Amino acid sequence: MEPWPPVDDDRLTAELASALWDAGGVPQEYLTAARAAFAWRTVDAELTLAELTFDSASQAQLVGLTRSAGSARTLSFGGGPVVVEIEVTDAGIVGQLSPAGGGRVSARTTSGTYDEAPVDAVGLFSLGVPPPGPIQLRADVGGHAVVTDWVCLR
């Protein structure tokens, strides 16, 4: 049994060098995640956070008051002067922004944007079915840019 710590510094240095050189390159998904994290370093200065103010999934006591147990989930977010309301169904996401007046909405996952849609003159938009895992919406409407809290919709 060898003593610890090793007494042969040259051998230890050679083993460390070998381990570092044999590690290979950085996987592409790590580089992508690092670049995305770096790009969001100034998000607070550019965007308003729209916090979750209502989630029908957390309103279990109200389920008995409805006639049917539909599969739609309703969420509301508020941030600054912008309100984002969405309904999530098996067909996708439909939503409305207030104040209305056109704009653009995008939905992203931890690996990037999965869908984008224009916002019409009354604030309506629709997006595709969200993938599993957390998503975040970004809305650019009426000169305001907001992002929602991260939420799991499925």
Confidence of residue 2 (pLDDT cuts 50, 70, 90): low
- Structural domains of the chain, count: 2
Q: Read off the pLDDT of residues 108-149 as tens digits, 9 standing for 90 and up.
A: 998 889 999 999 999 999 999 999 999 999 998 877 889 998
Cβ–Cβ < 8 Å for 125, 117: yes
Q: Looking at the structure, do residues 54 and 120 belong to the same domain, yes or no? A: yes
Q: Looking at the structure, do residues 19 and 86 belong to the same domain, yes or no? A: no
Omega before residue 6 within 30° of 0, cis = no
Q: Looking at the structure, do residues 61 and 32 belong to the same domain, yes or no? A: no
- Name the more confident of 93 and 63: 93
The answer as to whether 55 is a domain residue is yes
Q: Looking at the structure, do residues 62 and 98 belong to the same domain, yes or no? A: yes
Q: Read off the pLDDT of residues 13-60 as tens digits, 9 standing for 90 and up.
A: 888 888 777 667 788 888 888 888 777 666 555 678 889 999 998 875
> Residue type for 136, please?
Q
Confidence of residue 100 (pLDDT cuts 50, 70, 90): confident
- Name the more confident of 40 and 100: 100
Q: Looking at the structure, do residues 50 and 32 belong to the same domain, yes or no? A: no
Q: Looking at the structure, do residues 64 and 127 belong to the same domain, yes or no? A: yes
Q: Looking at the structure, do residues 144 and 113 belong to the same domain, yes or no? A: yes
Phi/psi region, residue 24 (left: phi>0; alpha: psi -120 to 50; beta: rest), is left
CA 110 – CA 150 distance, rounded (Å): 10
Q: Looking at the structure, do residues 20 and 69 belong to the same domain, yes or no? A: no
Find the CATH number of the domain harbouring 59. 2.60.40
Q: Looking at the structure, do residues 126 and 84 belong to the same domain, yes or no? A: yes
Domain residues for 14? 9-38
Q: Looking at the structure, do residues 87 and 17 belong to the same domain, yes or no? A: no
The answer as to whether 3 is a domain residue is no
Record the pTM: 0.65
